[in-house]
Chains A and B, each alone.
Chain A
Amino acid sequence: MQVLFKTRYEDDIRFLPKTGEKIRVGLVVAFLLAAPLLLQDYYLGELGLLLVYAIAGIGLMILTGHTGQVSFGHAAFLGIGAYCHAILMSHGVPFSLSVVLTTALSGLIGMALGRSASKMHGFYLAIATLAFLMLVETLLGEWESMTGGYGGLAVPGLKVFGISLASAWQQYYLDLFFTFVVVLGAANLFRTPTGRSFLAVRDSELSARCLGVNVEWAKIQAFGISAAITGLAGVLLAHHLAYLAPDVFSVLESLKLMLMIVVGGLGSIPGAIFGAILVSLLPVALSFLKDVLPPALGQQAGLEPLLFGLIIVIFIVFEPQGIYGRWMKLRFFFETFPYYRKSSFVRQKSYLKTERMR
C-alpha cells in the first residue's frame, strides 16, 4: 500500500497522485496511441466508435452522475449534434468551424432545456427529458427540407483543414483527440468551483444554496456542458454512421447511454469509459450468444434491449457503484491485502436528513 505524503497544495490538484494509477493510465494511453499499428481497420473503427460513446457517456455522466439530474433525452443531443454537423458540412462550412458551432448550439439547447427543467426532480425530470427526445426525434423526421426526413441524410466525407481524412486511422485519431480533450476537461471541471457546485447540488441542494451556490444556474450549466459534450459526440458519430436517420436517435439510444453510466459507475469519469467499453462489447457478446443459444431463442427479436435491461437491473441490485465501484474494491483488496474485510465498504449507519425543502 502506497502512502501519499502531501507537501504542497498542488498535490491535491494533480491528477493521478499514485504511481500505480499513473502507470495504468499511461499504458491505456499508449495502447490508444499505438492502436492503428496493432488493429485492423474494422476493429479500429469499432474502437473509434467506443471512444465516441465514451465522450457521450461523459456528457451524460456530468449531468446525471455528478449533478444528479436524470436525463432520458440525451440521444436527442447526439441527434442534434450529428444532424447539425452534417447539414453545416453539406452547406460547405469547414469541419473545424462546424464542430464549434454544433457544440455551441447543442450546449445552448441543453441550457434551454435545463432552464425549463431546473425546478423538476427525479421522476418528473425523466419524463420531461423523454418528452424532449420525442420532440427532437419527430422534428428530425418531419423537417424534410432540412434533415431529409425519414429517408435519411448522407454525411459529407471527413475533411479537416482541407485535408481529407478518409482512412480509418485518420478518423480514429480525430476521435482520440476529442476524447482526450473531453476527458481532461471533465476532470478539470471537478477540481474547480463549477464542478464542485454540481456535486453540491447533487448531494444537498439545501446547503449548496446556503453556501452561495445558485442552484438553478448550476443545473443550467450542467445541462449546457453535458449537452455540448454529447453534441460533440454526435458530430463524431455522424462520421462513423455516414448516413443519418432519425430513428437512430431514439429512446433506445438514450437507454444505452443511461446503461453505460449506471453500469460504469455513477459519479466517476472512468465509469463512463468502462460503460462505453461494456456497451461496445455487448453486440459482440450478443452475436456470440445467438450462435450458442437454440434458434428459437437466439433468433428472437428484441434480445438486445432485453439484455440491456437485465444488465441495468443486475447492477442496480448487486453493485450500485457500477464497474468503477467494483474496480475500486478490487484495488483496495490488493492494496490492503490481507486486511480487506467484507465490511470494508459497507455504508455506516446513515443519519437523519433535514426534510428537503423542495
Chain B
Amino acid sequence: MSSKPSPSNNLWRNVWGELRRRIWVAICAFTVFLFVLPLSLTLTLQNERFNLLRDSNHDWLRPLNEIFASSHSFTVVALILFACVAGLVFFSYLMNMRQVDFYHSQPRSRSCLFAEHYLAGWLSVVVPYLISLLLCLGVTFAMGMSSGLDWVVFFISTAIHLLCFSAIYSVFALAAILSGTTLLQLLLSGFLLLAAPVAICLFRWVRSFLQPAWYPLADFRSLVVNSSVLTRYCNQMQLGDSITWAEVNALIATAVVWIAAALILALLLYRRRPLECAGRALAFSRTRVLFKYPIVIFASLLLGLLLHEIGDWSGSTNIWYFVGVILGGIIAAQAIEVLYVFDIHGLFRKWWASVLVVALLCCGSYLLLSDIFVYNRYIPDTVEVVAVDTNLSVLAELGQNDYLMEAYSPPYVPGYRDEESPLVLDKNILLARSHSTDQSAIAATVAIAQKILEQQKEEDDIQQLYSTDMDTHTYTRLTVRYYLADGSEKVRQYQGAIDICQIKEEIDLLLTADDYRNNLYALFGYDSQQIRLANVSSFVGEWDRSYYDTSAFQRLINLDIDALLETYAQDLRNLQPEELRTDYPIGQLSFVIFESDPGIIPKTVIDSYTLNCDYRTVDYPLYASMHNTLAALGDLGYDDTYWRLDPASAARIQIRIDKEEEISYLESIIPGLDMDSDAWSVTDDYYSTVDTAQIVAIIQHCIPSSAGYFAPLLEVNYNIDIEVYYSTPEGNGYAYFYPPAH
C-alpha cells in the first residue's frame, strides 16, 4: 500500500490546532494588552483633550507617543510575562511522557513539531498585541488626535517589542528543549537570560574585594545591560525617550542575534533530544555540569561577600567571607542535586564535588587576599615608567557620587557627572585626561602610591581598607595607568586612609606639571558647540542662589559662550596649588555637555532635550581670583554683588558646641570672634548670636558647605556645623558653614 503525502505537512493547520487548544493564553494576553494599550490610551487621550481645552499650548504629543514607545513599561512587562507563559505552556508537551509519546509517534519531524509549537505560542501573544495596537490606532483616529502620532516611533517601537519578545520567548523554548520539567525550564530560562549580567556584577564585586587594586572600567554598567537581551530590553524603560538611534540599532541587532542563536541551538538540540527525559530535571545529562557549577560558584562567592558585608568591617571578618563561601557552595550544590533527582536523598549525592569546588574557591580567594602575585602591592620603578595617567580621589571634598567613587575624577577637577551618560566613547576618558610624561609628575604619582601602601602596611593587613570609614576626607584613592618603557601598560588603584596633608608635596608636583594641568579639565576637551552654560551659582550669596533658576536657565542655555569658555579655561589652569590650599570657591558654573556630534546639536537647546541628545551636566568652581571670568560673567548680569554676601541678610548664627575647646579653637582661627561676650546666648549646647560684627567675622573666615566640595586641598573642619539663618526679600532660609581646619 502506498502512502499519499500526509496532510500533516500542513504546518499552519497544526499551528492553528495547537493555538486553539491553548486559546486561554491568547485570551489572557489580549485582556492584559487591552488594559495596557487601548484602555490606557483612551484614558490618557481623554485627559489630554481636557488639558488642551484649558491650555492650548499643552504638550499632548508626548503622552500620546509614550504609549507606543519601546520604553512603555507596562508593555515591556506584559510582553516579558507572556514570553514566559507562552514558553512554558506551548512546550509543556515535552515534559510529560504521555504527550511525548503521542506527539513524537505522529508522522511529523521534530523540526516540524518544534516549529508548530513555537509559532502557536508566538502567535498567541503577538496577535493579541497587534490587535491591541490596532485598537489604539482606532482610538487615536476616533478622538481626532492622529496628527500627533509619531509613525517612526510607532513602527520602530513595535519592531523592538516584537523582536525582544521573540528573543525572550526563544530562550524559553531553548530551555524547554534542555530541561525535562516545567520548573527546570523556568529556572534554566532565568539562568540563560540572567547568567551573564549577574556574572559580570559578581565578577566586579568579587574582584574589587579580592584585588582592591583592580580598576573597574567605566562601561561596566553598559556591559551588564548589554550582556542579555532581557536586561537590554528592560533598560528601555529607564532610557525612556532619551533612547538614541544607536541604542535602537544595537537593541534590534541584539534581539535578532538572540533569536537566531536560541532557535538554531534549540532546533539542533531537539533533533538529538532524548525524549525519555520527560519528568527528569535535564534533557542532556552532560549539561548538568554547565549549569550546576556556575551556580555553585555564584552562590558560594555571593554568600561569602554578603557575610563579609554584614560583618563589622574589621579585618577579621575575612573569616566570614570563607564561612560564606563554604556554606553557599555546599548548600547550592546539594540543593541542585535535590532538584535534579526530586528527592531529599539528593542532599547527600556527589558531596565530594561540591567540597572540591568550595576548597578550590577558598584556596583561590586566600591566594588573592594574600596578594601572593603582588598585584595589589605592585609599584614600578620610576625609571621604568615613561608616562602616567594619574587620578587622585579625595572623596568627601569633591562631593563625589557613587559613580565617581570609581575614581574617575582627580581632586582638583570638580567637573563630575550629574547623570550617567548612555554614550561614552572613550571608556577611560576620565583617567586618560590626567596624562603626564613629566618626570616629576611620574615620581609624585609613584610616591603617593608608596605612601598609601606604607599606610596599609602599618595596619598590617591589606584589608584595613575596609576598616576605614570611606566617608571621611582622609580616605584617598589613587588610580594610575603606568606606561612602562617596554610598551606595556598597567592600571592599579591604591586606596587607603591617608590624609591630604601627607601627600601635599606630591600634589604640588603634579599640579605644576604642564601637561597634567592642561589635560586635567575634561570640559575643555569638547568642541565648544557641544557645551552650554546652564547655571551660575553663588556659594556666599543668599542661600537660594545655588538652586537652578528656570528663567535664568532659559536665558543662559542658548548663549554663545566661546569667549567665556576660553577665559575660564585660562583662569582655571592658572590656579596655583597654594591658592587651592588657602582659598575656596565663591561659586560654581554649571555646564551641559552634549555627547552627540556637535553638528547636529541645535542652537535651541530646549529642543535638544526633546530630540533625545545625550548630555551630561558638570559643575566647575569659580574662585574670587578669576578676575577675567568674573568680568565676563558681569557682562551677563552677574555683578560683584551677586558673589558677595550681604551681611545684613544674615539674621542669626547658631553653632553647636560639644566641647569647651571648640570655642577657643574657633576664636583662634576667626579674628574678632568672641563667643564669651554678651553678643552670644547659650541654649543647651547651642551658641547663637544676632550681632552683625560677629556674623560678618564668621562668614568671612569660614567656608560655605557647597564650596567645601570643590576645595579638596583646603583643610576644613567638618566637625563644627555653623548654621547661618538668612532673611532676604525673597524669603528666609539657612546655610551651613565650616571653619578651616588650621
A and B found bound together: no
A residues near B (Cβ < 8 Å) are none
